[in-house]
Amino acid sequence: MPDILVVGSLNADLVVRAPRFPQPGETISGEDLQVIPGGKGANQAVAAARQETNVSMLGRVGEDSFGAFLLENLKSNRVDSQLIQRDDASTGTAIIVVDANGQNSIVLSAGANGKVTDADVNSASFSDFSLLLLQLEIPTPPVLSAARRAHESGLRVILNPAPAHKLSNELISLADYLIPNETELSLLTGLPVNDMNSTEWAARALLEIGAKNVIVTMGSNGALIVTNSQVTHIETYTVNVVDTTAAGDAFIGGFAAAFLQDKSLEEVVRYGCACGALATTKFGAQPSLPRKEEVQRFMSLRATKGSEAISS
């Protein structure tokens, strides 16, 4: 029986390494094109499955070769794909340029991801699951429908608001854990986010409109937990960064898997940080997602600076 239901996107990532991002109107040379499984929904599904949780995914892919490629990849990662439909639209794609510092620039083409509907969501039996993972690479109405269904069925909901845009107060309040990065937090709230204090205040703005728990991922600065009872900064791990693609998705998958083990929120976030840090040490989206034994070994050998309770 699957523990986690992921409702979200599946993309074929078309990835090119380049020394830097091109300027407008400029052509630069890059390395060979790679086609890599991606999409925030599929990334998070695979990330959680590699932590040895049972995962099912709901979404859409095209009837093209990319669709078959993505479904086969989910199968090889032991993610149940029975709730994924084939569509006459093209499979979603992402054009990704990775620079010499491992930073990425991404352009999405939604394709079949844009065809996910409320009816797709209503085809699933939510009572079969314990946890729902959501992102925003599919239309917002089925995301909201999934959150409502989960709430009615007693599932905990993790919402990663990416790509960020304004959300209804209802959707924000239906998420048990809202997990944006700093850029997404700023776009959600309309507030500047440029240091620890501004991050805390922007997260508090989400609490004021109904968010229950806000976890802000901050890259090399770790993560900030902001709830009505605590504000705690969790340090992350220092690694040699190769490619930041899917690091946030690795964090979400690790967070979800650790959450199901009844760990403290600080432990859950620290485990997510370890997964995210490890993902940056490898190239590509899903190929970079670490497995459980790799994370456990990494955490046993490496130490963070710990956590700091900023206020309570």
Any idea which residues carry the catalytic annotation?
A: 249
Element (H, E) at 282: none
* Cα separation, 160 vs 252, whole angstroms: 8
CA nearest 21: which of 129, 104, 110? 104
What residue type is 125 in one-letter code? S
- Determine if residue 296 is left, alpha or beta; phi over 0 gives left, psi from -120 to 50 gives alpha, anything else beta: alpha
Cα Rg, the chain, nearest whole Å: 18
Element (H, E) at 235: none
Residue that has been written with the tokens 């269904």 in this structure: 149
* Cα separation, 47 vs 11, whole angstroms: 15
Sign of the CA dihedral with 131 first, then 248, 213, and 163 last = negative
* Cα separation, 275 vs 291, whole angstroms: 9
Task: Please report, for residues 196, 203, 217, the alpha-carbon distance to residue 223 in angstroms, rounded to integers and kept in the order given.
Answer: 10, 12, 4
Distance of CA 131 to the CA centre of its chain: 14
Sign of the CA dihedral with 158 first, then 159, 162, and 164 last = negative
* Cα separation, 179 vs 134, whole angstroms: 10
Residue that has been written with the tokens 């309570």 in this structure: 312
